[in-house]
Amino acid sequence: MKHAFQTLVFSTALITASLGAQTQQPAQPAQPAQPRPANADPYANNPDAGKTQFPLAAPAGKDSGAKQGGLAGASNQGAFDPTKWKYGPAFDAPAGSKTWNPVKLKLQQGGKVTGGTVFGASDPSTYCAMANAGYDFIWTEMQHGQTDWQNVARMWRTCPHAKAVPGVRVAYTDEREIQHALDAGALVVVVPTVDTAEEAIAARNWTYFPPLGRRSNGGGQAFDAGMWGTVPGGYRATANNNVVLILMIETLEGLKNADEIAKVPGVSAIFAASGDLGNFSGYRQGTPDYERAINIVHDAAIKAGIRLCGPFAWRDRADFTCFQAGSETAAIARGAAAELGNLANTQGQVEVGPLAVKKPQ
């Protein structure tokens, strides 16, 4: 018994020593400090809080006089005046930057651009099928559809680099609507029922970053590497050169101001709304009064030197170069009909049950 106890003690000591040898590893050489990632804020990622120096900051407890005069070496001197402010080069696109939005490039080249409409779908697989079906952009419908922005953002980030770029018709000219679209990754923005040049300017302002517009640099998935964060020149610096802004002329007031609307800097195209121009005028397509309305929009685009958009049915109409095509449900129906050929709609004709074909009385 005594011998067994001694053996147990010896074994325990041996195991303890072995474990101690395993935990006491030789000291590793110090690793060099990793460089902090680049950031727009030079004071970000500070490991020693409280020790950062702010050499150009206002003195503690004193009026710096910044409203009356600029700091030494600044481009802007004298009393502060927003109307005279010299915009800085921090967000200039690199020299020689090329267009990376295929829709923008195609419009610039005079090609015919088509937008496939996603009206009610919120499932990413349906969106991605439409985005890879051959359209240039997807017209995600937020004016008449019931989809919310969270669903839209999820669809767009599922296949951000599909053949068709993300586009949207927002509900109205509004900072929230347009910036939700752009921050989620939209490269084509369609604004409905634009009636005046002032409304066109507002749409332009919320679409473009300064100095052309007033878009806030608030982030969003558009800035992510998986979407547009790695484009040549950087997203913030090149976004203004790649976004497409289309304004819809739909009302009699819009027709009256079409020339001024089309001339607003930053507007890529105006859209002759085939349905609502009939709705607001009271005339059907093909009548002289209706066609006069369409021609007013046509003339405004030609005079302003911008593109002219309309329904896909007008793809052969003079000077129209961008179009809204059918919805996802229409595309499914057309695709199935094309695939089935003469086997389409040849269902069995049962005589009983809820699927029975009713005979004419």
Contact 219, 183 (CB under 8 A): yes
Extract the tokens encoding 278.
């009939």
Q: Do the strands 165-169 and 188-191 form a parallel or antiparallel pair, or are they unpaired?
A: parallel
- Distance (Å, rounded) from C-alpha 203 to C-alpha 191? 7
Surface-to-core class of residue 182, CB atoms within 10 Å of its CB (0-12 exposed, 13-18 middle, 19+ buried): buried
Phi-psi region of 118 (alpha: psi -120 to 50; beta: other; left: phi over 0): beta
What SS3 state is found at 109? coil
- Distance (Å, rounded) from C-alpha 322 to C-alpha 317? 11
Q: Which amino acid is at 308?
A: L
Question: What DSSP string describes 111-179?
Answer: --EEEEEE-S---HHHHHHHHTTT-SEEEEE-SSS---HHHHHHHHHHSTTSSSEEEEE-SSS-HHHHH
Say whether 144 is catalytic: yes
Distance of CA 105 to the CA centre of its chain: 16
- Distance (Å, rounded) from C-alpha 16 to C-alpha 9? 11
Extract the tokens encoding 110.
């005079």
Contact 195, 251 (CB under 8 A): yes
Among the options 3, 144, 161, 298, which is catalytic?
A: 144
Task: Give the closest residue to 118 by CA, choosing from 99, 102, 132.
Answer: 132
Stated as kind and residue range, the H or E segment containing 245 is: strand 244-249
Q: Which amino acid is at 53?
A: Q
- Distance (Å, rounded) from C-alpha 223 to C-alpha 182? 10
- Just list the catalytic residues: 144
